[in-house]
Amino acid sequence: MSDVLGNRGRLSEEEYFRKKNQEAIEKLREKMKIAQQAKEAGESTMRCPRCTGKLTEIKFEEVMIERCDHCGGVWLDPGEFGELVQKDTTGWFTRWWGGD
């Protein structure tokens, strides 16, 4: 009798985890769909690390950077900072970060 109950318990446990895995897969698919739609529309799905506002890509000194639409914070991807320093040969940016 305990063997029958053990099998039933294992089956319901397997069913529970199968349902949880399926839910997680569906959530991931929905996130990927939203991200793809945003990309096709030229929008960003990135969020501000400071306030979780939406980051919008803007062009500054011919370099694409991200700015938060809520707090106004500016976020640079790897390499963008170096590009901005190279373009600013006489301004405050170079004096602050690259000056001797």
Which residue has better confidence, 24 or 76? Answer: 24
- 55 φ/ψ angles, rounded to the nearest 5 degrees: -85, 130
User: How far apart are the C-alpha atoms of 73 and 18, rounded to whole Å?
Assistant: 42
Query: In 3-state terms, the chain is what percent helix, strand and coil (to 5)?
Result: 55, 15, 30
CATH architecture of 44-100: Roll (3.10)
* Domain range list for the chain: 1-43, 44-100
- Is the Cβ–Cβ distance between 54 and 68 less than 8 Å? yes
Give per-residue pLDDT as tens, 25-81. Answer: 999 999 888 878 877 776 667 788 899 888 888 888 888 888 998 998 998 888 888
Tokens of 62: 């011919």
